[in-house]
Amino acid sequence: MAKVKSKYVCQSCGYETAGYLGKCPECGSWGSFVEESTAPQKNSMPEVPDTFPPMKLDEIEMNSEIRMSTNISEFDRVLGGGEVNKSSGIVQGSLVLLAGDPGIGKSTLLLQTAGELCKNNKKVLYISAEESAGQIKLRAERLGIKTDNLYIYPQTNLELAKKYIEEMKPDLVIVDSIQAIYTSQIQSSAGSVSQIRECCNILMQTAKGQNISIIVIGHVTKEGNIAGPKVLEHMVDTVIQFEGDKYKTYRILRSVKNRFGNTSEVGIFEMSGRGLTEVKNPSELFLKEYNQTQTPGSTIIVTSEGTRPLLVEIQALVGTTPYPAPRRVANGVDTGRVLQILAVLEKRIGLNLSKQDVYVNVIGGMDVDEPAADLGIALAIVTCVRDVVFDSHTAIVGEIGLSGEIRAVNHIEKRITEAQKLGFKRIIIPEANEIQDKIDGIEVVRVKKILEAITRGVKG
């Protein structure tokens, strides 16, 4: 009889050691080691027939229907492809990981996706390891899903699930969730690093070997990272994050990794009693409460998420601090970036903020990471300090260098077009950006220095 051995595995990064450690030397996590038993198994690696010999690139034939549209344009946009609803959607034989906070709407989104695919006579197998068939039926009735092509299979054993996948050969398989299923080949409990890694490997081989698209749901840790080993994100073809503010009704679907499309692409949804509803014009959503009679410290920037331009409002509040060290608080933008902008304002235009608290906030809970928001942040701070109002019909885009120059940004034509669609009369852009075509209905103001942008944008 084979001797059973044990090892300790870090549940945060997958680091293995022969004995227990309080702190992981790989990722620095405390109390993350769990004992797992291992036993050598016979024929653990089955022989795989060589059905695909080496082929020349020109001899490889492509299926005309390589992608399968979900009929949800925002989801198709994030999954990648060409023009939305024409050549975008789920790639056949791909493995997609959808991760998000508890209760954010992951299961709801995929159940709605399954219902839409079934309308196109696609066969969908929903493997639920966390809910019973009756619970899924209740949610489907609430979402108005009625179809004969959707199969619900409450199961936690991956070997049994794989058998039905190979027998039914569905167009799409949904696994809810990767942390709740287990394989008999691993002795540890479900949710451990070894189980997640092996289950993902089996699903990946099934997707590629059977040419079946598989979407798995993943949990996230309290730090916001995907639970399980980091290799999980490397094994799958696409990683999608489902984000949202618990105080808001809208949700953001963001592509983190995509072998078949653009990364950082976003889709916007709004949660309601009937499920998730697509937001066709997210810029209008973020500017819904934008007041045309603006107050000092408010500007509109044109940010870019993937290939989609979005208009969001930046607000800044500057006030005298009663404490020796002034506070610097940033919500939705990087704090280090705000500190750099403050340093440029003090050095290049003589704005003294050494005894001022500075608060910067992106309205609507949107996270803006790109440097193109620098100029909008700077102008919001300056208008608040000087108690003047920035022109409410002017949008802003531009990166600020350390010498106070305004540097070029990408996708400038798309940004200008988006601002023009929403009724803005002017847009301030870097002088270094060259515009190929003139856009009617909006004045393009090109600036080289930050002081020039302040002079041309502030009222009065």
Q: The pTM is what?
A: 0.79
The radius of gyration of the chain's CA atoms, rounded to the nearest angstrom, is 26
Residues 205-225, mean pLDDT to the nearest whole number: 87
pLDDT tens across 315-364, in order?
999 999 988 899 999 999 999 999 999 999 999 999 999 899 999 999 87
pLDDT at 55 (0 to 100): 80
| Of the listed ranges 34-38, 142-146, 423-427, the one predicted with least confidence | 34-38
| Of the listed ranges 29-33, 236-240, 246-250, 393-397, the one predicted with least confidence | 246-250
Residue 25 has pLDDT above 70, yes or no: yes
Residue 245 has pLDDT above 80, yes or no: no
Tokens standing for 107? 């299961």
Residue 65 has pLDDT above 70, yes or no: no
> Which has the closest alpha carbon to 309: 422, 200, 408?
422
More confident residue, 209 or 174: 174
Residues 402-427, mean pLDDT to the nearest whole number: 91
| Of the listed ranges 48-62, 259-273, 402-416, 440-454, the one predicted with least confidence | 48-62
Instruction: Name the phi and psi angles at 366, rounded to 5.
Output: -75, 140
Residue 46 has pLDDT above 70, yes or no: no
pLDDT at 151 (0 to 100): 95
Which are the contacts of 121, defined by CB distance < 8 A and separation ≥ 6?
A: 149
Residue 448 has pLDDT above 50, yes or no: yes
Contact 416, 435 (CB under 8 A): yes
